Amino acid sequence: MARPGRQKIGKARRQGTRGPADGRSPRRTGITSELSFLLLKPDCVRQGLIGAAERTIADAGLTVEDRRQVRLSPADVRHLWAEYTDDGHPLARAFLDRYLTTAPSEIVLVSGEDAFERTRRVKRALRSRYAIGVFANVVHAAESRTELTRQRDHLFGGTSHDLSVPTRPAGLDLRAHFDVPALVNRLWPLLQQDLVPPSPYPLEVGLPEAAVILGSDRNRTLDSTVSAIWQALPGIDPGHAVMLALHTDRVGAYPVAAGGRRTVKRCWKALRHHGIQACGRATFPDAALPATPPPAHWSPPAAPRPTTPPAHRSSTQSATPVPAHRSPSDIAPAPTVPAHS
């Protein structure tokens, strides 16, 4: 991890801007105080929001003990977010690498009474004002005290901790089916602006009668949700599946597929078969969504079976052929996601 903005230790201590990263504040005696930190991400630095972050930190009653400009490496990202694995969370890992390792960030060590909770409040305040998505949310703070110790000590003390961290729910190893880094690069410009609602996946021709509603679920991850959508909707472009998952997470609930009532019911069952519990069905007026030709003749799994991917599935060769008049890019979210190459 490169630290182009790191000060010399002696000078920093004389100026009172550096403190130990062992959880004790060097300036507080006789009162309960602790050390916490904030990671000001590359979009925060790029947009000139450092001053806004400093004011929010001060308003929270926290004192800055140390600050450094850093450029995180992929190894840093894997240590800081050890709950994601290479084979179970390739999408999350690729998006985090693209987000955090390609430009400088700033780390800020703060102290104060109940600093852990106060930094979380600072994070929520900054995100509510400036975040536009999960990979454009300007700031990070630890979500648990165990995470706080592990991440703070790595960033400020260079201390390695046991990485036997409970992993988040995994998805397929999507690297076996399409080029994940290329997909991330293709979608990245869309994620640096307010997300445009993606089109629900059309299940059949004609005016839709109903839709499958996907709900946000903190017990799932981007990889597990995209894997389920991709398996339940053969023929969907991977970029479309990612945008549906991200938009659902942002707004709380969103229609991911639309069609006739019976087809929607089969789609809903397929999503539940692939592990999605926070989903339902809804009907709506015919005018709610435009009529569109189907991307393929869709059918659900004939019977419950292990959630193993098709043997030769790829982003350019779907399990069900796409008619010549309808390409995967036609069903990508607006603005249209370029076809995957």
Domains and CATH numbers, the chain: 9-157 (3.30.70.141), 198-331 (no CATH)
- Total-model pTM: 0.75
Q: Which two tokens stand for residue 300?
A: 């659900």
Q: 69: exposed, middle or buried (C-beta count within 10 Å: 0-12, 13-18, 19+)?
A: middle
**φ, ψ at 289 (rounded to 5°):** -135, 145
> What span, in angstroms and rounded, lies between the C-alpha atoms of 331 and 293?
10
Query: Residue 293: what pLDDT?
Result: 43
Query: Residue 193: what pLDDT?
Result: 87
Strands 201-202 and 253-259, sheet pairing: parallel
Per-position pLDDT tens, the chain of length 341: 655 544 433 333 333 444 444 454 444 444 578 999 999 999 999 999 999 999 999 999 999 999 999 999 999 999 999 999 999 999 999 999 999 999 999 999 999 999 999 999 999 999 999 998 889 999 999 999 999 999 999 999 866 666 678 899 999 999 999 999 999 999 999 999 888 899 999 998 888 899 999 999 988 999 999 999 999 998 999 999 999 999 999 889 999 999 999 999 999 999 999 999 999 999 875 435 544 444 443 444 444 444 444 444 444 443 333 333 333 333 334 334 444 43
> What span, in angstroms and rounded, lies between the C-alpha atoms of 269 and 227?
15
